[in-house]
C-alpha cells in the first residue's frame, strides 16, 4: 500500500514538472470570472488543465494494482469520461478567452449519459448491485433498493457530486486538500470496515496523487486543476461511495462539498425571490475571501471541517 501511494505521488510530481512549462508555452492559462473576487484577477493566465497530472497516475496506478477487478475498471472509466468532459469545457474556455465553456445542455447530456451507463453496469452487471448499507448498523446490514430506482439515484448522485466538487475548486489548494481528507476516510473505511482491498488501493492512490498535485497548487498556485481535474475527482468520489454501498456518507465525509454547492443554490434561490444576497459571494469560500480571510486560512479551516466530517462518518458506519 505504501508503494501505491508513493507511486501515484511520484508520478504526479514528475508529470507536473514536465507539463508545467509545456502548458505555459502553449499559453493554456486560466480564464478568471470577471464577477469573482478582484484578487483572483491576478490568477488570469495561470496554467490550467492541471488535472491531467493526477488523473493519469490515478488511472494508471489503479489499473496496475486492481487490473482484475471489474468495478475498479468501471471506476477508472467513469473518472476518465468525467475528466474528458471537463477537458472539453476547459479547452473551449481557453479558446474563446471567456468563462463560457460547454453549453449547460450539452454538459448535462454528457453527464447523464455517462452516469446512466455506469449506474446500469453497477446495478445489473456488478457484484455491488442495488444494496445500500444502513447507517449506525454493522457493515453487513444493507437495504436493497429496486434496481430501476437505484439506477436513477446513482445518476442524480453523480451529477450532484461532480458539481459539488467542482464548486469547491475556487481557492488555491482547497479542492485538493479537502479531497485528500475525504479519501483518507475512504481508505480507512474500505480497509478496516469493508475489507475492500481494491477500493483501499484506489483511495490511497488518489491521496498520493492529490498530495503530488498540491506541490504545484498551494497558494500562490503555479498550476490549477480546471474542470479537467475537479470533474474527475467528482467521478472518483461517486465511484468509491457507490462501490462501498454508502453513497449517503458523502453528506458527512464530504461535508465541505455539500456546503459549497448548497451555499450557491441558496444564494441563487434567495436572490431570485428577494433580490438580496445571503452571502457576500457564493460559493461560500468566496464569502470568506471577501471577509478578508486568506486563502491559506480558508484551506486550513475547511480541511479541518472535512476531517471532523470524516471522523463522524466513520462512527456512523
Q: What is the pLDDT of residue 28?
A: 80
Q: What is the pLDDT of residue 275?
A: 86
Pick from 272, 264, 241, 245: which is nearest to 133 by CA?
245
Q: How many CB atoms lie within 10 A of CB 264?
A: 19
Q: What is the pLDDT of residue 31?
A: 66
Burial level of 41, CB count in 10 A (0-12/13-18/19+)? exposed
Pick from 83, 89, 91, 117: which is nearest to 104 by CA?
89
More confident of the two residues 60 and 26: 60
Q: What is the pLDDT of residue 32?
A: 62
Q: Which of 57-71, 108-122, 173-187, 264-278 has the lowest mean pLDDT?
A: 264-278
Express each pLDDT in 66-104 by its tens digit: 999 999 999 999 999 999 999 999 999 888 776 777 888
Express each pLDDT in 122-149 by its tens digit: 999 999 999 999 887 765 688 899 999 9
Q: Is the peptide bond before 220 cis (omega within 30 degrees of 0)?
A: yes
- Across the chain, mean pLDDT equals 92
Q: Mean per-residue pLDDT for 51-73?
A: 96
Pick from 138, 135, 88: which is nearest to 110 by CA?
88
Task: Report DSSP state, residue 144.
Answer: E
Q: Is the pLDDT of residue 30 over 80?
A: no
Q: What are phi and psi of 209, to 5 degrees?
A: -65, -40
Q: Is the pLDDT of residue 37 over 70?
A: no
Q: What is the pLDDT of residue 102?
A: 87
Collapsing DSSP states into helix, strand and coil, what is residue 142?
strand
Q: How would DSSP label each residue in 178-214? A: HHHHHHHHHHHIIIIIS--HHHHHHHHHHHHHHHHHH
Q: What is the pLDDT of residue 129?
A: 95
* 259 beta partners: none
* Dihedral sign, Cα of residue 216, residue 48, residue 184, residue 298: positive
Pick from 167, 142, 309, 113: which is nearest to 242 by CA?
142
Q: How would DSSP label each residue in 99-132? A: S--S-HHHHHHHHHHHHHHHHHHHHHHSSSTTEE
Amino acid at each position: 500500500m505504501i508503494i501505491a501511494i508513493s507511486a501515484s505521488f511520484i508520478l504526479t510530481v514528475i508529470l507536473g514538472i514536465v507539463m508545467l512549462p509545456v502548458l505555459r508555452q502553449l499559453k493554456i492559462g486560466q480564464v478568471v470570472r470577471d464577477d469573482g473576487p478582484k484578487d483572483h484577477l491576478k490568477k488570469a493566465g495561470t496554467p490550467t488543465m492541471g488535472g491531467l497530472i493526477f488523473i493519469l497516475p490515478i488511472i494508471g496506478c489503479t489499473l496496475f494494482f486492481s487490473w482484475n477487478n471489474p468495478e475498479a475498471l468501471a471506476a477508472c472509466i467513469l473518472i476518465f469520461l468525467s475528466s474528458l468532459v471537463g477537458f472539453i469545457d476547459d479547452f473551449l474556455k481557453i479558446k474563446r478567452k471567456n468563462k463560457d465553456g460547454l453549453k449547460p445542455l450539452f454538459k448535462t447530456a454528457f453527464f447523464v449519459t455517462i452516469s446512466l451507463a455506469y449506474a446500469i453496469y453497477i446495478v445489473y452487471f456488478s457484484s455491488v448491485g442495488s444494496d445500500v448499507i444502513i447507517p449506525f448498523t454493522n457493515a453487513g446490514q444493507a437495504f436493497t433498493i429496486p434496481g430501476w430506482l437505484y439506477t436513477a439515484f446513482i445518476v442524480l448522485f453523480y451529477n450532484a457530486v461532480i458539481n459539488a466538487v467542482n464548486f469547491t475548486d475556487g481557492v488555491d489548494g482547497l479542492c485538493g486538500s479537502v479531497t485528500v481528507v475525504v479519501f483518507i476516510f475512504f481508505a480507512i473505511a474500505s480497509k478496516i470496515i469493508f475489507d475492500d482491498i481494491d477500493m483501499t488501493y484506489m483511495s490511497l492512490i488518489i491521496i498520493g496523487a492529490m498530495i503530488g498535485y498540491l506541490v504545484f497548487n498551494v497558494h500562490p498556485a503555479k498550476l490549477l486543476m480546471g474542470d479537467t481535474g475537479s470533474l474527475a475527482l467528482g467521478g472518483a468520489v461517486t465511484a468509491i461511495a457507490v462501490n462501498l454501498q454508502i453513497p449517503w456518507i458523502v453528506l458527512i465525509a464530504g461535508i465541505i462539498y455539500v456546503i459549497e454547492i448548497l451555499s450557491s443554490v441558496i444564494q441563487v434561490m434567495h436572490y431570485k425571490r428577494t433580490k438580496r444576497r445571503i452571502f457576500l459571494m457564493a460559493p461560500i469560500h468566496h464569502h470568506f475571501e471577501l471577509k478578508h480571510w486568506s486563502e491559506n486560512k480558508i484551506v486550513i479551516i475547511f480541511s479541518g471541517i472535512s476531517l471532523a466530517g470524516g471522523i463522524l462518518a466513520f462512527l456512523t458506519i
